[in-house]
Amino acid sequence: MEPWTGDPSSPDKETAGSPPVALSSYTEWDPLREVVVGSLAGGVFPSWQESMTHTLPEAAWRICREEGGQPFPAAHLKAAEGELDTLAGILESEGVTVVRPDIVSHRRPFRTPHWTSDGGLYAGMPRDLLMVVGDTVIEAPMSWRCRYHEGDAFRTLLKSWFRRGARWMPAPRPQLLDELYRTPGDAASPDAERWAVTEFEPVFDAADFLRFGEDVIVQRSHVTNEFGIDWVRRALGPEFTVSVVETNDPHAMHIDATFAPLAPGKLLVNPERYIPHPLFEGWEILPAPAPALPPDWPMYFCSPWVSMNVLSLDPETVVVERQEQPLIDALTAWGFRCVPVDFRHVYSFGGSFHCVTLDTVRDGGPGKYLAS
């Protein structure tokens, strides 16, 4: 479970438990064989930028404005990191190979010729930065300036996957100039009043995409623009179809608390955000029960609907937060085996089981699961 710290050129890197195959992951539900579990160690509050007002809970604006680059509360962070370690152990007990990012400093300020940041963020949510489609890993050009160097924590893993035979595809590194961000009263495009990012350059978070074999779905959001979606579409080529789906989410940032495909033909959805789409014709749709999180629980980055951000281990098995009993009951009645894990402290930092993992090897091939 620990980050590998040896010689990155060593041919023996993959002999200690990792599959000897290149990356291979086409869906969100096929049997899981290898996964990255993130780390919140050394995490800091994000350096503030106004585009964050569109996605962060309003109660968190002040602390992010005032504490950018400063460490998260130590006790809460320690508890969250303990939950991540527990998750890694449970996944290993389920027969999954677990790898972890390198531990890097997120407190160091940095700058480009155009802007400065008081620090980074964390390496806790690999799903935000990286997307595995088939045998390719894509590095996302994220729009939050504080996340500009987040890939450093995953560089050892990226190099090892490449040496194993994977295709490594970084998106164009963004400039993140002021022109990328919407300003009040900007009416340059029909979407100008809806989204925090313009079409200045391609940006996206990988967590705005979900994989359904030959099909990939994506939502337009406050961190993912059409330019970025078009880049992914062309990068993947004709082997995959990338389709945009609409959601009823004014704070849209990451699709995996709106849709959760758990098995072929079974889709868990957020009842407040889901808009029926012809792609899911013939699928069973289960509206997720309301989150069980107490209303006073600290949430810095997202809403309590992260409760439905589950991780499929195979088409019959789902990792779920232990205290989300209504969701566990609903999934059990739907025919799934639920693996309960305490994860509320991780919730506070912007994600749950799907966010904090990156499935790099799953059984199965591309397949066709969505309607044409």
Residue 12 banded pLDDT, cuts 50, 70, 90: very low
Residue 221 tokens read as 């959001």
- CA 231, CA 242: separation in Å to the nearest integer? 11
Does residue 183 register a pLDDT over 80?
A: no
Three-class DSSP category at 97: strand
Q: How many CB atoms lie within 10 A of CB 58?
A: 7
What percent of the chain has a predicted confidence (pLDDT) above 70? Answer: 92
Q: Which residue has the tokens 């160091």?
A: 108
Phi/psi-derived region of residue 335, left when phi > 0, alpha when psi is between -120 and 50, beta in every other case: left
**Which residue is catalytic, options 64, 302, 338, 355?**
355
**Which residue is catalytic, options 54, 254, 345, 354?**
254
Amino acid at 101: P
Q: How much is the pTM? A: 0.91
- Alpha-carbon Rg for the chain, nearest whole angstrom, is 19
- CA 95, CA 83: separation in Å to the nearest integer? 19
Q: Nearest Cα to 169, choosing from 368, 23, 14?
A: 23
- Pairing type for strands 215-218 and 241-244 reads parallel
State pLDDT tens for residues 49-67: 999 999 898 888 999 999 9
- CA 65, CA 270: separation in Å to the nearest integer? 30
Helix (H) or strand (E) run with residue 341 in it: strand 337-341
Active site residue 205: yes
- CA 305, CA 95: separation in Å to the nearest integer? 29
- CA 132, CA 150: separation in Å to the nearest integer? 17
Q: How many CB atoms lie within 10 A of CB 329?
A: 12
Helix (H) or strand (E) run with residue 215 in it: strand 215-218
Residue 212 banded pLDDT, cuts 50, 70, 90: very high
For residues 158, 159, 164, 166, the Cα torsion angle rounded to the nearest 10 degrees is 50
Active site residue 254: yes
Active site residue 85: no
**Which residue is catalytic, options 205, 215, 314, 359?**
205
Does residue 343 register a pLDDT over 70?
A: yes
- CA 363, CA 261: separation in Å to the nearest integer? 16
State pLDDT tens for residues 132-179: 999 999 999 999 999 999 999 999 999 999 999 999 999 999 999 999
Task: Determine the Cα angle at 76 with ends 72 and 80, to 5°.
Answer: 100
- CA 80, CA 199: separation in Å to the nearest integer? 36
Three-class DSSP category at 58: helix
Q: How many CB atoms lie within 10 A of CB 111?
A: 10
Residue 16 banded pLDDT, cuts 50, 70, 90: very low
Residue 185 banded pLDDT, cuts 50, 70, 90: low
* Size (the chain), residues: 372
